[in-house]
Structure 1
Amino acid sequence: MMACSFTSLKFCMDVHRFIVSCILIVGVSLPVIGLFICVSLCISVGACLGTDCTDVNVLPSLSAAVSDEQPQRSVWMTFLLISSVIRLIFMRTIWDIYLHVFRKNLKADLSSMIRFQFIVAILEVIFLNLMGLFPSARLYESHRNCLAIFVLCSVIFMFCDTWLFSLLSTHTSSQSLQSRARKKRSLCLIYIITLIAISVCYFVHTTYCPPYVYSLFSLFEYLGIIINVCYQYYVFDLIIRVPLYRIFGMCDNSEQDRIILFETIF
């Protein structure tokens, strides 16, 4: 077991940072990798391009690509579960980092807001996995409801997180935190625009069913997934500065320990 002294923290930091960076990159990128594998397999066999009103499509939706076909479904669920486990393991430490950073810079108690935000984040992960467990071809209503809750949670989380960092950027001279706030605002705005585009394409497809609109819907759906993944990276990459032994609880987990540790790295 590694000691939690200040000297050992400095000695091990570079190794810890590299390991955590690798775990984080794997965790956030797996859904995108799974998306492209499943879509490529779907297109190669041409089994999921048709809809109930037209076969003139070049791209499948994610739901169609991973619904019941193998190996797409197994690939997607495996990648998604691994990514979700990594996010949930990291989430407690990120929660602590948020509490420390906002308390230090704003001199205000935002713990309730931060707690709400991360409860929503946990719900987002849960319903994302439930959406994958319910194939749209056989359990359409359950799949649709989980998708709606997942999207709602993702929007609420981004709004809360963007608001917090926008507030933080006005109370700190840290260029890093100000840059992070700008990136989060941009990603949140693009995500909302993408969701609107998805909704419009879906409405046009279900109402008029013109050729290729479903493919456009699918393209915006892919973009929304990628934007969400990028946003999650900017939430979790703060953890790169935290030693691996702290993330997995291999040291004193007291409030005083967390304060001393975060003061040395933030």
Structure 2
Amino acid sequence: MYIPLHNATAKRFYFKIAVTKLSVITVSLPLFSFLTCVLITMYKDFDRANKTHCNIPNIFPSISASIGNYEPQITIWKTAIYIHAPIRFMLIYLRWDYYRSIMRDDCITIVKLAVSLNIIENIMLLGLTHWTSSLHYSYHEKCFKTFIASSLFYMILICILLTKCRRRPNISSIEKYSLKLKWRLFFINASTFAMAAYFFLRHNSLCEPYVYSIFSFSEYMVVVSNILYHFTTVYDLHSHFISISRHGISIEK
């Protein structure tokens, strides 16, 4: 006669995935869709995408032109962003839970601020995707400015918190590596954004050949460094799993 162990069914699940794999999927969708849109634009819509108000030569289209002006680029980008958005918000919750577990109690208010900025960043990404610069410039501009500000402040706050506010001073090698990557990617993101702003203003005032292309390439680096910064979640949550069972969704370590 078979007698089931007590609570034996509690750990059965229909689906289980490591957070590291989920993070890779989440990062891959916007990264590869972005690169695909840029390459398609350079191949199919090169002349139109690189045309500026002063008709000077350029080689790199802007991000707005690459993802928001032509088909199938618009559909590729919107599909990738809308599909991966729910997963990004789930990862925000997991990061919030992780930060609470390792930060000192006197730093929790700053942690809440950082996580709130991360939520705003993701909402603004959806706004940037929905309102393109060619059709809804004023909305697109507001979303872009808010996205950049919330993103930069989130990055620097997390870097400072992970450096100064941990409960335990001794951290593992993987935590050290994750923090080092975060600092480097923050500086790359901030510096390339500053470059993009400088070359955009210089292009508008002087209309020099290829300056707009330098601006566009700087934009690319802003996007890629932002994506890679969030990819460091794979190191922070490397031992976490998400499982779906008849009891609902649960997080395991």
TM, length-normalised to structure 2: 0.86
Counterpart check, 1:3 vs 2:2: no
1:153 corresponds in structure 2 to: 150
Partner of 2:208: 210
Q: How does 1:110-125 map to 2 (within 5 A)?
A: 110-125=107-122
Name the residue aligned to 2:4. Answer: none
For 1:190 and 1:92, locate their aligned partners in 2 and report how far apart those are by CA, in whole Å. 26
In 1: Cα distance, 2:232 partner to 2:188 partner: 15
Distance 1:142 1:67 in 2: 13
Q: Which residues of 2 match residues 103-114 of structure 1 at below 5 A?
A: 106=104, 108-114=105-111
Q: How many angstroms apart in 2 are the aligned matches of 1:225 and 1:71?
A: 20
**Would you identify which runs of 4 or more consecutive aligned residues in structure 1 move more than 6 Å?**
246-249
Which has the larger strand fraction?
Answer: 2
Amino acid at match of 1:88: F
Number of equivalent positions = 242
Once the two structures are TM-superposed, the CA of residue 54 in structure 1 deviates from its matched residue by 2.1
Comparing 122-131 with 87-96, which one deviates more in the overlay? Answer: 87-96
Contact 2:20 2:234 in 1 (8 A): no
Q: Which deviates the most, 184-193 or 108-117?
A: 108-117
Alignment-derived partner of residue 54 in structure 2: 53
What SS does structure 2 have at the residue aligned with 1:244?
Answer: strand
What corresponds to 1:255 in structure 2?
none
TM superposition shift of 1:61: 0.6
CA deviation string 1:17-72 (max 9, x = no partner)? 3xx33321110121111111111111112231111112411110110112231111
Instruction: State how 1:35-46 maps to structure 2 within 5 Å.
Output: 35-45=34-44, 46=46
So what's the TM-score if we normalise by structure 1?
Answer: 0.82
Shift of residue 94 of structure 1? 1.8
Residues 31 and 173 of structure 1, relative CA distance in 2, 3 Å threshold: closer
How far apart, CA to CA, are the structure 2 residues paired with 1:143 and 1:203?
Answer: 18
Note the residue ranges of structure 2 that are not aligned, 5 or more in a row.
1-7
Q: Go from structure 1 to structure 2 and tell me whether the alpha carbon gap of 1:247 and 1:195 turns closer, same or farther (over 3 Å shift).
A: farther
| Contact 1:42–1:65 under 8 Å retained in 2 | yes
CA 1:173–1:150: 2 relative to 1, 3 Å: closer
Paired letter, 2:54: C
Please tell me the residue identity of whatever aligns with 1:154.
S
Specify whether residues 132 and 55 from structure 1 end up closer, same or farther in structure 2 by C-alpha distance, changes over 3 A only.
Answer: farther
SS at match of 2:208: coil
Instruction: Call closer, same or farther: CA 1:144–1:151 in 2, change over 3 Å.
Output: same
1:175 CA displacement: 2.5
Query: Which digits, 9 at most, give the CA deviation of each residue in 1:102-123, with x for residues without a partner?
Result: 2xxx4x3422221211111111
Aligned ranges 1:247-258 → 2 under 5 Å: 250=248
